[in-house]
Structure 1
Amino acid sequence: MRRFAEIEDLSGLVRQAFGSGCRVVGVDRLRGGSKKGVYRVHVDGAGVASVVVYSWAETENFWPAAEEAASAGPLAPASGLVPFLAAQRSLDRLGVRVPRLLLADDSRHRYRADGAVVEDVGGGTLEGLFETDPARAAAALGDLAGMLTVMHRHHCPQYGRVDLLEQGVTTGGASCEALVLERALRDLEEAADRDGRIAAEAGALGDRLRELAARVAPRAEYGLIHGELGPDHVLVDGDGHAVLIDIEGLMYFDVEWEHVFLQLRFGERYGALSQPGLDPQRLDLFMLAMRLSLVAGPLRLLDGDFPDRSFMRSIAEHNAVEALALLP
């Protein structure tokens, strides 16, 4: 049985952030996270009505343990206080809006896991605003486009997650496209084991991946990307500005990888985020690789006890159909 945080668990962290006069009066665990717990904590005596606490307790991570073995790779699921803080610093330096950090604690003295207390932006997600306030959402989308331009034009001669590059850890592999191909072939094998339609076309899909990878020309510098940027990972603050969350996977990589994900998640609204100069060969390879990842990943997550099972199955089902549609 998974144990999630309660008022008594989080009170010490919040009092450390605001002082002993602060009192926690309520805790809501927010939906959607698969690698960390996200809690809205209601407080008295802090000068704000609420804050958000991130918990990287083991019981908050729904991914199978095997996922953690490949955590040094830029495309592996990223989680933890260290990558979060590195991403926070990097984005702050660029002027990209993220929730303000109030406290980071890895002592385990006040809470059983690494944790962080951050500003509660409180304005809802961009995804929600698309439905409830289209005008406000459109303005925030334009703000997000400006952020992405800044990030994607911030280059590095090496690719990899920012926290690992800060530590001098370089990623194995000759190139981003080689890394994507390697992972896509693993995802294909795994998806074929779980989905009969993918299994029936596994040979053709593998050949297509190798063909697309062979068309990609070498590249010597990489842009800064979020890595999993959907409208659910963008909050909108009281001033209408976009605020990036779930930033632990921040990395230098081919920006086309970001743009493929943006196309999938923003759909008809992607035009506001598109940028000139993207490599069409990379886009073609990355789109097929991303589709296969979005089949294998959700099915892998369902091996455990992830609660929103129908949602994950729908993601896998949709992307299996879309992956097969990319065959010539």
Structure 2
Amino acid sequence: MRAFLTIDDVTGLVAEQFGSDRRVTMLERLAGGTKKGVYRLRLDDGQAAILYVWAAAENYWPASETVPDDPFTDATGAELFTVNSAALTRAGARVPELLMVDRGRRHLDADLVLAEDLTGGTLEALMERDPRAAAGPLAELGAMLRRMHTTYGPEWGRLATSTPQRRTPEEMILARALGHLAQAAPRDQRLEAARPRIEEHLRALRGRVAARREFALVHGELGPDHVLLGPAGEPVLIDIEGVTFFDAEWEHAFLQLRFGPAYALLGPVDLDPRRLEFYRFAQVIGLIEGPLRIAGTDFPDRQWMLDLAELNIRKALAAIGQPSSGSLPTSLSTGLRGPTMLTA
């Protein structure tokens, strides 16, 4: 059984941050995260804050083989969170205000970040409840993304490291996708049978991508559930550990997947269609392997992950001219929603 935080665990932290006369009246573990714990603290004076906790008991992902230069896999931890928060702020992107960072494990056997509590809900919820009202935040998010995607770094990779890269982003993504396919295929007979043709398709898509050296600041996995609404209704980016310098097409492949028809309201920058197509298919493969892997753990929403994998298995087979029969899983019939960090 996983042991999550209780009020007693955070009394020292609260006393240090807010004063010894303050008392915690509620500690709520928020749903959705798969790598870290996210808790809402509420105090007896009505003040609230969000506590991020990076601890083994909060991480549902089992270990897997990865390519060594993949900046998106296992992008987690307080260091990435704080470095990326500063970089996004400099680029003109709104993120939650940081109130406290503890990487010395003074309060718990875990890295901690205490941040501003944003109570306006997610952009995803607003899009479902009132699409017309969501138009303004979507346009503002688009402007924020254009600022990020015209903020460039000298090399691609995580902001918290300075290791020179020896290969191009598209070479890394090809190796990543082939690795995901190799791990996922034994778990599904259809994938195993189609694996040679899927590999061939991946290599063909990679072969059509022209060389380029322009690395923009990207979120890495930005869906409308990763955008909260601030006090003035402004979009605020969360789950920022995967922020990196990379191709903007990687970001937009995921944005198209997650925002659907509303994607046009973001007003994207100019993109390379061949690079975008390659990255889109690579993400399909990742959205098979990741959900199948986490579905083999004690993750509480296992069926949703299996349904997500099924949806993307069908996409992969259709891309090589091998469509699957039957209806889509019910939980995904209205779009890609659910737990975050799907491609860890």
Same-fold call, TM > 0.5?
A: yes
TM-score (normalizing by structure 2): 0.90
Question: 267, 271, 274: which is aligned to 2:264?
Answer: 271
Alignment-derived partner of residue 147 in structure 2: 150
In structure 2, list runs of 5 or more residues that go unmatched: 322-344
Alignment-derived partner of residue 62 in structure 2: 64
Alignment of 1:62-211 (within 5 A): 62-66=60-64, 73-164=70-161, 168-171=162-165, 173-211=166-204
Paired residue secondary structure (1:209)? helix
Change in Cα spacing, 1:33 to 1:109, as seen in structure 2 (3 Å) is same
In the alignment, the residues of structure 2 paired with residue 38 and residue 25 of structure 1 have an alpha-carbon distance, to the nearest angstrom, of 17
Paired residue secondary structure (1:66)? coil
Shift of 1:274: 4.5
Give the percent of matched residue pairs that are identical in Structure 1 and Structure 2. Answer: 46
Alignment-derived partner of residue 33 in structure 1: 33
In the alignment, the residues of structure 2 paired with residue 132 and residue 94 of structure 1 have an alpha-carbon distance, to the nearest angstrom, of 30
Paired residue secondary structure (2:174)? helix
Change in Cα spacing, 1:64 to 1:170, as seen in structure 2 (3 Å) is farther
Q: What amino acid sits opposite 1:226 in the alignment?
A: H
The structure with more helix, counted as a fraction of residues: 1
Shift of 1:71: 7.3
Q: What amino acid sits opposite 1:51 in the alignment?
A: A
Residues paired across the two proteins, number: 321
Shift of 1:170: 3.2
Alignment of 1:194-233 (within 5 A): 194-233=187-226
In structure 1, list runs of 5 or more residues that go unmatched: none
Further displaced range: 89-98 or 256-265: 89-98
Change in Cα spacing, 1:50 to 1:227, as seen in structure 2 (3 Å) is same
TM-score (normalizing by structure 1): 0.94
Paired residue secondary structure (1:243)? strand
In the alignment, the residues of structure 2 paired with residue 134 and residue 55 of structure 1 have an alpha-carbon distance, to the nearest angstrom, of 33
Q: Deviation above 4 Å: which 4+ runs of structure 1?
A: 69-72
Paired residue secondary structure (1:96)? coil
Q: What amino acid sits opposite 2:102 in the alignment?
A: D
Encode CA deviations 1:280-309: one digit per residue, 9 max, x unaligned.
Answer: 111111111100000001111122211111
Alignment-derived partner of residue 324 in structure 2: none
Encode CA deviations 1:141-200: one digit per residue, 9 max, x unaligned.
Answer: 111101100000101120001112xxx2234x4101000000111111122111122112
Shift of 1:77: 2.6
RMSD: 1.5
Shift of 1:72: 5.7
